[in-house]
Structure 1
Amino acid sequence: MERSSARSTVLVTGGCGFVGGHLVRSLARHGHRVVVVDRLPWRDGHAESVCLDVTDPEGCREVMREVDPKVVFHLAASSTIDSAFADPHGSLMCNVTGTMNLLEAARRHCTNLHRFVLASTDKVYGELHADAYLETSPLAARGVYDVGKLAADTVTRLYGDELGLPVATLRLCNVFGPGDRHTGSRIVPRTLSRLFAPDGPLPPVVYEGSMEHGRDYVYVSDAVRALRTVAFHPRALGEVFNMAPAAHRTTLDLVEDLIEEARRECEKPDPDRARAIVKNGYVVVAADTGAALPRALTRQHCDATKLGGLGFRVTVSMKDGLRRTVRAFSGSSGRT
């Protein structure tokens, strides 16, 4: 499907982010002209760069007029629960108003738009009360980040259903892999930043109330392939899809998996660190009950049968994905 669209112009908002960066490089490898729209400049080659805050409506109109993309991948967002909670107004402006600005600019100024793809999240469903979320499950988001993404999700479907824009939505689960810089908030890079601390491994921190929280996880290359599938498959037009996970893990299980993979990675080149990683284990910390904190969902799990109907299958197992991520992180941490 995608080969017939090679060399078409694609626009990626949030292209300097974790998933966005992987997507940009993948699209460039597949022969597309890629334009990155981000508040930061794109410096990695293989793409053109437009510095823009998507909350600027005139800027969105101008970039759509000038680029006139065939496909828009909209990933620009307030990207973590913690950052959204710390700045609810800024987060909602980005996630809601930014999405509205881009949709309206695309509707008015794109002359041959094939697909507007929104990267949404499984958090739009809220707490899981069944075996798995279906795309038809009720949407019951409650946190700042979750509600902002739900609003963007709903507005995107509005522009498709009522205003005729060729849209599609992918509700991502927790994506992990090399290049995720959110070491303060996301469990995989946060854990690895401690295991590969320059002065020696530190025990990963697990919050007492989150140990049994369950999440779906997928390696970043599979998330990128799913975004491309939703963008170019003819049967994805106007549809919403749950991301297919590589595995479901509790927080504690994931931390233990990362400890074991880090031990394996260090065993030959750095046996002292490997032994220290095992000896340290992890630390359980009680949440600060006096602090204002975002409310966490207890369990999330997606049914991805619908995405499978497009022929999509996850290709990187959880174990292999963690191994690749640990290897990349250990190499970039300066450990020799």
Structure 2
Amino acid sequence: MATVVVTGAQGFLGRNLIATLSAVPDLEILSFDRGDDPETLPELAARADFVFHLAGVNRPQDPAEFIEGNVDVTRRLLEALRAAGRPVPVLISSSTQAALDNPYGVSKRQAEELVRAYGQETGAPVFVFRLPNVFGKWSRPAYNSVVATFCHRVAHGLPLEVHDPAREVSLVHVDDVVAEFIAAFRGSPQRGPDGEPTVPRVFTVTLGDLAERISRFPETRRTRETPDVGDDLSRRLYSMYLSYLPEDQFAYSLEIRRDPRGWLAEVLRSPALGQIFVSVTHPGIARGHHWHHTKTEKFLVVSGEAVVRFRPLDGREVIEYPVSGAEPRVVDIPPGYTHSITNTGATDLVTLFWASEPFDPGRPDTHALPV
């Protein structure tokens, strides 16, 4: 069994890394976080086979805390590893700001230099990741990244303040970061042109574009439009936005259309992906008895028993497909066939429907005709 030490275990990167490492078999994870006694570092170092050094500060009230949180902690950790007498590999999460001369960048650069010196002295492999803005679940708003701030404010119904919409930011997603951290642990990180380990997928976006994408998410509940998740960045932004919803707002209601047959509700719609809706149909009741020129549909019974019937417009023969929630199968509805679905069971029938285009009252392409 291998033993890894994760410093900054309760921070943004630490929590995401440990959540993934916890699924790795035969791996012991030892944690060190802010508030833990530094005197425990020698014990952790003596047991470590690999160290993920993720502890640090980036927005202290006193700039002097940059040195204490980023440099001094790194020095104590490396001294403990030297005292353990084994060349333990070390990975450190740094920042692209290490190339700058602001107090934060200087402190991160000094921490990098300490780690590189440790590697040269002991022969232990070291991995210095200079990360741009990292975003993803468990990121702290107004602390870790602008994405966290935007997502948190929009999820809580607060306005966004974008002082420079044209400013570009480079982003990496925490899942990609964790994947590269684990690749380094296994000895095969991807490396950039400078030979340093890197996270290859970087998203570049302006603050104005970022704010606009995130601001559109809440409205999708009202319109039932499928959230824009057609590209990797938007998909990850939507995931992160949901992670900041207040816990009493995870659920939302649908518009239910009720009649003597049961009820029907639209779930999602999209010009690109069509429309999804669900219905409850009482025993003995039929739905449909219409046909389409171009629109197509899929029927999936998830509970109950039914029969789907078809008849070509110019024919008399009725085609029947028995369906049941006990043995789910999808029935395609081609154009040019009038069709219906009838509840043949003793209980309510629950059916999931997909249509190739959202219903448009101005162009319904739905024409009544008994099967």
**Distance 1:185-1:225 versus aligned 2 partners, 3 A rule:** closer
Q: Would you say the 8 A contact 1:246–1:317 is kept in 2?
A: no
Is residue 246–residue 318 contact of structure 1 (8 Å, CA) maintained in 2? Answer: no
What residue is the counterpart of 2:101 in the other structure?
A: 142
In the alignment, the residues of structure 1 paired with residue 222 and residue 80 of structure 2 have an alpha-carbon distance, to the nearest angstrom, of 50
Residues 183, 190 of structure 1: 8 Å contact kept:
yes
97-106 or 157-166: which moved more? 157-166
Cα distance in 2 for partners of 1:102, 1:69 equals 11
Aligned 1:25-40 pairs, distance under 5 A? 25-31=19-25, 32-39=27-34
Measure how far apart 1:321 and its partner are. 0.9
Distance 2:232 2:190 in 1: 25
**Residue 331 of structure 1, CA deviation:** 5.7
Deviation at 1:322, TM superposition (A): 0.8
**Deviation of residue 148 (structure 1)?**
0.9
Counterpart in 2 of 1:62? 43
Q: Determine which structure has the larger strand proportion and give its number.
A: 2
The aligned residue for residue 14 of structure 1 is 8
* Aligned equivalent of 1:220: 174
- Using structure 2 for the length normalisation, give the TM-score: 0.60
Q: Would the alpha carbon gap of residues 110 and 182 (structure 1) be closer, same or farther in structure 2, given more than 3 Å must change? A: farther
CA, structure 1 residues 145+263, in 2 after alignment: closer, same or farther (shift >3 Å)? farther
- Taking only aligned residues, the RMSD between alpha carbons, in angstroms, comes to 2.7
Which amino acid in structure 1 is aligned with residue 74 of structure 2?
A: T
- Inter-CA distance 196–170: structure 2 relative to 1 (3 Å threshold): same
Q: Structure 1 CA distance, aligned partners of 2:146 and 2:41?
A: 33
Q: 2:111 aligns with which of 149, 152, 163?
A: 152
Per-residue deviation, 1:91 = 1.9
Matched residue of 2:32: which SS?
strand
CA gap 1:234/1:220 in 2 versus in 1, 3 angstroms: closer
* 1:102 aligned to which of 77, 82, 92: 77
Shift of 1:20: 0.7
Partner of 2:154: 195
Q: How much has 1:171 moved relative to structure 2?
A: 1.4
Residues 235 and 174 of structure 1: is their aligned pair in 2 closer, same or farther, counting only changes over 3 Å?
Answer: closer
Question: Which 5+ residue runs of structure 1 have no aligned equivalent?
Answer: 1-6, 41-50, 126-140, 275-315
Output the CA distance in 2 between the equivalents of 1:334 and 1:261: 14
Q: Deviations over 1:276-318 (max 9, x none)?
A: xxxxxxxxxxxxxxxxxxxxxxxxxxxxxxxxxxxxxxxx921
Gaps of at least 5 residues in structure 2 are 252-371
User: Quick one: higher RCO (CA 8 Å, sep 6+), 1 or 2?
Assistant: 1
Residue 178 of structure 1 aligns to a residue whose secondary structure is: coil
Equivalences for residues 263-282 of structure 1 within 5 A: 263-264=219-220, 267-268=223-224
Structure with the largest fraction of helix:
1
User: Residues of 1 paired with 2:7 and 2:248: CA distance?
Assistant: 28
Q: Which residue of the partner structure matches residue 131 of structure 1?
A: none
Asked whether the 8 Å contact 2:165–2:208 carries over to 1, the reply is: yes
Question: In structure 2, what residue type is equivalent to 1:264?
Answer: T
- Give the whole-Å Cα distance in 2 for the aligned partners of 1:218 and 1:224: 11
Report the counterpart of residue 68 of structure 2 in structure 1: 93
Q: Which residue matches 2:345?
A: none
**AA matched with 2:42:** R
Q: Is the 8 A contact 1:69 1:112 kept in 2?
A: no
Query: C-alpha separation between the residues in 1 aligned to 2:222 and 2:240?
Result: 14
Shift of 1:327: 2.1
The one-letter amino acid of 2:48's match is P
Q: How many residues align?
A: 244
1:244 Cα deviation after fit? 2.2
Instruction: Report matched runs for 1:162-201 at 5 Å.
Output: 162-183=121-142, 186-197=145-156, 201=157
What fraction of aligned residue pairs are identical, expressed as a percent?
A: 26
Indicate how the Cα distance of structure 1 residues 123 and 266 shifts in structure 2: closer, same or farther if over 3 A, else same: farther
Residue identity opposite 2:53 in structure 1: H
Larger radius of gyration: 2
- Kept after mapping to 1: 8 A contact 2:190/2:199: no
Q: Is the 8 A contact 2:142 2:148 kept in 1?
A: yes
Distance between the aligned counterparts of 1:191 and 1:168, measured in 2?
Answer: 31
Contact 1:170 1:230 in 2 (8 A): no
Instruction: Give the distance between the partners of 2:129 and 2:221, measured in 1 at CA.
Output: 33
